[in-house]
A and B are shown apart, each in its own frame.
Chain A
């Protein structure tokens, strides 16, 4: 009897929420949200409102004026930088989905019986250990010599840098897709190339999502590659513009923070709509 009681109470406890923990976690959100709050209020204020006390810095602005943003857009050539970032991220992502998945396919289907593909696989995947610092200086020379010290060079570099991880992900995923599917298509007279695009490529949708998220997050936020490769071209990506125009912001922190907020905004909006896909992508990429 008493045991039954215990069981019942155990079930009851299970369905209850742990409220103290919930409240603790909500309070903990301050660590995440405070820097963002600070960014927003400073971005909307005028320099005259920024007294030296904390309350002067952190209070809500008297007027929600967009003038800082207008000025920041002009100073940092916002639309141009945004366009570059979108182009670089978009094209790199597209190339990753096509090139890396093809390579993953070639490797996964031939690794067992071909030494060439097995070696190619380890050759590419071991590229994961190469830090950018060692490639940086020779790549600057190389892209300049090839006259691609611009958006094109950055895209090519990214396509190569993300290849090790993405080929690893794709070939791992393809091991679970039976070859019998391709053989059936082959019997129907389809070529390997057609079979790939008609049958295999669509089947890899979950992995495409992971690769797209990982590649896009990495390229969108990266500073070092465009910094060294495009520095001579006068072009900026959105994060790089924050570095380039740092001196022009001077001590006008309101202008600087308006610019930072503008730089963060596209990703924040994107996250708002694709939160689940982004988190899943990042987890899949890391765990697999």
Chain B
């Protein structure tokens, strides 16, 4: 009897907790299962396929690490990594320099400030594929007509510049807005104090403004790099990887050869490597830029 009472005592406060705990568990568990099914499970499957010679249909065999070994000797894969990294690197620099300039301009004392900001943000909301098609026409017909030249998209050595311009056209809109929100966090009295010390122009930017907006610089660098490494829509609309496979991004190659080229297994291995590259670059970038942030 005594025991029972004690038990009831013990259970009582616990029961109110369990209602809350049970509700949370009933929320979290189905969601975790859903996430597992459409994220982790395909990730594991992709990893498993990477050790097979699966074509995407029919039977397949285990080939061990052969796909991985072949990846490093495959000229087409190597070329696509070179192209993607080159594109991501130069586009990230171009976008960040121009965005910062744009943000400084749009944050200055100008007329029609909000209207201009709204207009400059416009490219970001448009679909990359359709934008790509529009620029495809622009590069194929308008630009050659102006400069009496051949189309840049037909040049194996220069087509990547067209891809860079289209990527930048949309990304600048986004990064400018992020830099503007960064500039707005800089308190006005910092500038006033700087003005007394004679800081103007470049030195004002270099020593006052920029250190204060470094967190936003970090965001933009990481966002840009990640997005451009995964570039797909622009390639699809502008070059389809051509001419002569000179603009095949990694995502495009995985899609093209993995889905319809009978290289399901091989491209799965490529995707695993790509995944590792993305994680490494993102982590490295965040570490590097964070340490810079702390120094200042």
Hey, which bits of chain A sit against chain B, CB under 8 A? 14, 16-19, 21-22, 24-26, 28-29, 31-33, 35-36, 38-39, 42, 52-54, 57-58, 99, 102-103, 105-107, 109-110, 117, 120, 123-124, 127, 129-142, 156-157, 159-161, 163, 186, 191-193, 217, 220-221, 223-224, 228, 238-239, 242-243, 246, 253, 256-257, 260, 263-264, 267-268, 271, 275, 278-279, 282-283, 286-287
Contact = CB atoms under 8 A, between A and B. Distances in A.
A130 B111 CA distance: 43
A202 B119 CA distance: 32
Contact of B23 (A120, A129, A156, A192): A192
B123 interface: yes
B11 interface: no
Given A22-B112, A103-B31, A253-B137, A267 B127 contact: yes
A24 B105 CA distance: 9
Contacts of B141: 57
A162 to B, nearest CB: 11
B271 A137 contact: yes
A31 B141 CA distance: 17
Contacts of B45: 138, 141-142
B69 interface: no
Given A138-B49, A142-B42, A160-B34, A224 B233 contact: yes
A134 B129 contact: no
B136 to A, nearest CB: 10
Interface of A is mostly: helix
Contacts of B20: 186, 192
A267 B127 CA distance: 9
Given A22-B112, A53-B145, A137-B271, A224 B255 contact: yes
Contacts of A220: 127
A260 to B, nearest CB: 5
Given A133-B230, A221-B126, A242-B129, A106 B24 contact: yes
Contacts of B112: 22, 26
A17 to B, nearest CB: 5
Given A106-B27, A131-B251, A286 B111 contact: no
B210 interface: no
B130 A282 contact: no
